[in-house]
Amino acid sequence: MAEYETHEYDVLVVGAGGAGLRAAIEASAKGARTALVCKSLLGKAHTVMAEGGIAAALGNVYAEDNWQVHFRDTMRGGKMLNNWRMAQLHAQEAPERVHELEAWGALFDRTKDGRILQRAFGGHKYDRLAHVGDRTGLEMIRTLQQHAVHQGIDVYMECTIARLLKDGDRISGAVGYWRQSGDMVLFRAKAVVLGTGGTGKAFKINSNSWEYTGDGHSLAYWAGADLIDMEFIQFHPTGMVWPPSVRGILVTEGVRGDGGTLTNSEGKRFMFDYITDYFRAETAETIEEADKWYDDKLNHRRTPDLLPRDEVARAINSEVKAGRGSPHGGVFLDIASRRPADYIKRALPSMYHQFKQLADVDITATPMEVGPTMHYTMGGVRVDPDTAAATVPGLFAAGECAGGMHGANRLGGNSLSDLLVFGRRAGMGAADYALGLGSQPEASTGDADTMADEMTACLDREGGENPYAIQSDLQDMMHTLVGIIRTGVELDRALGEIEKLKERAQRTSVPGGRAYNPGWHLAMDLRSLLTVSEGIARAAKERTESRGAHTRDDYQKTDPEWGKWNLSLSQGTDGSMKLDKTPLPEMPAELASLLEEAKV
């Protein structure tokens, strides 16, 4: 048995985006000895890329807004598959979390009377997103980071957690490696909070950073926790499409919230042709009504340009397939002809900058070309809504790597608020659990030894598979077979391909040594990438209906019977992936009535 660098804590938080930072702040404030571990440098997590804003029913722009309306919008956006209690807590607590950020130094854009300004977004009835131009994520992560730094939380940067450790049934820590040196490190911890984000790097066209390899999903799954709703992958309707090198980079929904419209090659605002019955009562049917809505949301219905993301992404996909796309296979997003140049530069500075610098397009003068890009993983670790506890004692999860909150489709803006609300709750849950636990559980180094052997084997092997090639093949395959529109036949093929890729991933070899070796790190990340890819494909195969972000060409209807079930994945004793149908928790009558009233 080898000796490892070892640290001991009450609470270990894995991931330093919005959820991880907020969890660490809370756990530390509750008196738990807290460590925060992140794969990159602090402040670089994917939260930094969030653009549009934080959804919270502050009621600053429309006093009519309140948590009940936010709850209703969230549930309808998620096609009613959301965990009702999470959606309720989220809507109730988001305003307080936003005000808290302000008290920690965040500078949100203001209303005329000096309060926090809110912008319109898809699926939200009222202007609801607290924002800072189109760089809200940066403001949020910096505020949390600066607050955390002064709380005395120990931060371990460029450290990848590779396995969770258990003492019997409960969590006892985690083992990982320093990216800089390649040396292993062991954290003994009474509780572990996962805040590791999503799975975007399993797909070819995505808006995610390199870190998004499904680590938290996989760590939890390997440790015996359940994953739910893995079939629901959000394709954001507006990613850049040209030039090829920037394909997939996010174009904020704020462009549409602030007046931009989607048009096809015939110049038609095609979204009016894609209003489904589900949203018909709340969506404008004419251009005149849609355009009046921007200034008066009480007396007009929302433009179909701002239907929830699943609806818009499918519509763009259909327009392109019908031959009405833009020259580079997207559609047009036009704000240039609709808003003055100085307004665009002020409200959307980083979009202006991004298109100018990367695509030679001036968005104040010409329309952008956009198309769907893999953006968000709705599915994740099954958690208790109030404490964020996973099904394994001592394990907690929050943010994108947790499941349930967003159901079958997430509304824009609900992610940043999710990170804050459930990051805090996970920090609380973990601290309460850890402080209630008498002694430090035993952390056996057996798993660490296995890890160390696997890692060394990959370095020692010669003439094996190139991890970059495996990832690229996985991304192509997932994009083609498990993408925006799915069929049972293709999903079966995908599962076959994943098995082959798993075998190849066993035989990787990389040049170089242990010190800061990205090829080596990718070889390790392939295990989690393949685990989540299999989970997504299996759940997608099982759900024989279309709902939210999950669209089956061979089962095009939404089936009310399927609306009663979550799909749940867990690792069987033989190591294979088990799939179960678990009933949706029943919603209390007073909440259900909010949704009834909303039907009109």
Q: How far apart are CA 183 and CA 154, in angstroms?
A: 19
Q: How far is the CB of 219 from another protein (least distance, A)?
A: 20
Q: How far apart are CA 446 and CA 442, in angstroms?
A: 12
* Nearer to another protein (CB atom), residue 496 or residue 513: 513
Catalytic residue among 256, 314, 375, 425: 256
Asked if 86 and 387 count as a contact pair (C-beta separation under 8 A), the reply is: no
Q: How far apart are CA 410 and CA 421, in angstroms?
A: 15
3-state secondary structure of 263: strand
Nearest Cα neighbor of 189 from 399, 446, 442 is 442
Catalytic residue among 236, 424, 425, 521: 236
Q: How far is the CB of 227 from another protein (least distance, A)?
A: 25
What is the DSSP secondary-structure string of 504-544?
HHTTB--SS-STT-HHHHHHHHHHHHHHHHHHHHHHHHH--
Tokens of 589: 């009558």
* Nearer to another protein (CB atom), residue 104 or residue 272: 104
* Nearer to another protein (CB atom), residue 365 or residue 515: 515
Asked if 365 and 357 count as a contact pair (C-beta separation under 8 A), the reply is: no
What is the separation of C-alpha 549 from the centre of its chain, rounded to a whole number of angstroms? 13
Q: Determine whether 302 is an active site residue.
A: no
Q: Determine whether 236 is an active site residue.
A: yes
Q: How far is the CB of 88 from another protein (least distance, A)?
A: 21
Q: How far is the CB of 116 from another protein (least distance, A)?
A: 8
Burial class (CB in 10 A: 0-12, 13-18, 19+), 597: exposed
Q: How far is the CB of 92 from another protein (least distance, A)?
A: 15
Nearest Cα neighbor of 223 from 540, 500, 531, 501 is 531
Q: What dihedral angle (degrees, nearest 10) is formed by the CA atoms of 314, 319, 320, 326?
A: -120
* Nearer to another protein (CB atom), residue 8 or residue 102: 102
Q: How far is the CB of 296 from another protein (least distance, A)?
A: 22
Query: Which chain residues interact with another protein by CB under 8 A?
Result: 40-46, 48-49, 99, 102-105, 107, 109-110, 113-116, 132-133, 135, 137-139, 142, 146-147, 149-150, 155, 157, 180, 209-211, 242-246, 249-250, 350, 353-354, 357-359, 466-469, 472, 510-513, 515-520, 522
Q: How far is the CB of 573 from another protein (least distance, A)?
A: 36
* Nearer to another protein (CB atom), residue 4 or residue 210: 210
* Other C-beta atoms lying within 10 Å of the C-beta of residue 437: 15
What is the DSSP secondary-structure string of 161-201?
EEEEEEETTEEEEEEEEETTT--EEEEEEEEEEE-----GG
- Each residue of 396-411: b (16+ CB within 10 Å) or e? bbbbbbbbbbbbbbbb
* Nearer to another protein (CB atom), residue 29 or residue 485: 29
Q: How far is the CB of 251 from another protein (least distance, A)?
A: 10
What kind and span of H or E run contains 426? helix 414-436
User: Which strands form 565-571's sheet, in the order they lie side by side?
Assistant: 380-381, 227-228, 565-571, 577-583
Tokens of 26: 């809370």
Q: How far apart are CA 139 and CA 245, in angstroms?
A: 27
Beta strands in 335-472 (DSSP E): 368-377, 380-381, 395-397
Q: How far apart are CA 351 and CA 296, in angstroms?
A: 26
* Nearer to another protein (CB atom), residue 241 or residue 567: 241
Q: How far is the CB of 475 from another protein (least distance, A)?
A: 12
* Nearer to another protein (CB atom), residue 313 or residue 470: 470
* Nearer to another protein (CB atom), residue 159 or residue 227: 159
Active site residues: 236, 256
